[in-house]
Each structure stands twice: as structure tokens, then as C-alpha cells.
Amino acid sequence: MKETNIHVHPLTRVIDDINRIFFKMGFTLVDGPELETEYYNFDALNVPKDHPARDMQDTFWVKPTKDLPGVERRLMRTHTSPMQVHYMEENKNPPIKILCPGKTYRKEATDATHETQFQQFEGLYIDKEVSLATLKTVLNKMFDEFFEKDIDVRFRPSYFPFVEPGAEIDISCFKCKGEAGCPVCKGTGWVEVMGAGVVHPKVLNNIGINPNEWKGFAFGCSVERLAMMKYGVDDIRLFYSGDLRLVNQF
């Protein structure tokens, strides 16, 4: 057979894989703007004006234009969560089961694990009987399929303003069984992969969904982080270098 010159970028491969896995679990794909208002990126997600969490995410603010006086100041979204807010506003009658992949922006120094532009995917599932156990089942299935092996998932308590309780999600190391010297997990057997939690009642209230009636979970994960782990890429900047020696390996 004739050799093909078509190569799919590793980030595109990861996004395609993730979309396919979540389609099978009944999630719908949702898109949204990269240029956002402060309301959708922070306020609606229970990040108070003076809260340190807002400083945690160094933001690319967009200069207001003279043509649009009084318009709320805008920013390049720092996470994919604003898409959830838009979707919930337009669909106030759960169940809601969506996946929101897309580009995000943070004003931070670039190094092997940080880029000013990166990609995330965000999941949101709201229904009458959704719990952290449901979240664990969904994530277990996702990581099993993504790494094509049996992956364990564990939750560690953490804080994000838009969830309560919040958790950092670790997965069992896909390279070793906690062997000392493993470069992926540093011999611990676990790798931190994403943040998640139960959607904060204030977030649902802000939108007009009754938190006494509906419950849900949300999670957010970096596409680049998954691609680096799966394909053994040790520098995030390679993905955006345009260097064909990377892409041609896929």
C-alpha cells in the first residue's frame, strides 16, 4: 500500500479520542466564545470579586474600546467553564450532560509544562441522582479507554470556588506499578490529572436551576497534559512549535 503523508497532530488525536469516549457515554458536545465577559469567566462561577482565586488565574484582559462604552470588560477565557454557564442559561431544564472542549488562555511564564494558550475539556452532568460515585464511574471509564488499560482513579479533597466539595483527581500510573524511579509518577504510583467536584449550589442558583431539585458534577482537564502523558512528550511547547518532526511521528 502507498505510504500516506497525512499525519494527525497529537492534540487533535487526544481531542478526538476524548470526544468519542464521552459520546459513547451520552454526553453532547458544546462550543462557546474564547473572548468572554468577566461575568461568565468568574462571577457566574462563584469567584468573588476580591477572592484570591481570581488572582490565581493571571488573565489576559482585553482593552475596552471607545466604540462600546459601558460594555463589561472582557478577557480571554482562563478555563472552559464559561461554556457550561452559557449552556445552562439556555437549557434550564436538566438533565444536562455536556462536554466542552476548547482553547484557554493564561498570562503566565512559558516553560516545559506551561503555555499561555492551551486546551481543556470540561464535563458537566446534572440530573436528580448524580453523585461523586457517578463521577468516579465516568472518569474510570474515560481513563480506561483513553490509556487502553485498567486505570484506577482516586479523589483528594481540594478547593475550587465553583464546586463543593472539590477534588483533585489522580489516576494510577499507566507506566509502572509505583516502582521507584518511574519518571511519570516519581515512584508514587499516582499521577495528578484534573480538578473536579459537585457543582456549587450558588452556581446553579445564579443560573436559575434549583439546587434542591438538581445535583451535578463538573470536571476540567488539560488536553496537553493528557497528550504529554500518553505520547511521552516532555515539553508542552513542542505541540505549538510547528516542528513537523513531532507531528510526523503520529
Residues found near Zn ion in the complex (CB under 5 A) = 173, 175-176, 182, 184-185
Of 73 and 186, the one with the shorter C-beta distance to Zn ion is 186
Beta carbon of residue 199, minimum distance to Zn ion (angstroms, whole number): 32
Structure-block grid coordinates of residue 203: 452556581
Residue at 109: amino acid letter: A
Of 132 and 184, the one with the shorter C-beta distance to Zn ion is 184
Beta carbon of residue 188, minimum distance to Zn ion (angstroms, whole number): 7
Beta carbon of residue 144, minimum distance to Zn ion (angstroms, whole number): 17
Among 20, 57, 245, 11, CA closest to 142 = 20
Structure-block grid coordinates of residue 217: 458534577
Q: Show the beta-strand stretches assigned E in 33-129.
A: 35-37, 61-62, 74-76, 96-105, 117-127
Beta carbon of residue 105, minimum distance to Zn ion (angstroms, whole number): 31
In the three-class reduction of DSSP (H, G, I as helix; E, B as strand; rest coil), residue 79 is classed as coil
Of 52 and 181, the one with the shorter C-beta distance to Zn ion is 181
Of 25 and 184, the one with the shorter C-beta distance to Zn ion is 184
Residue at 68: amino acid letter: L
Cα angle value 103/108/110 (rounded, 5°)? 85
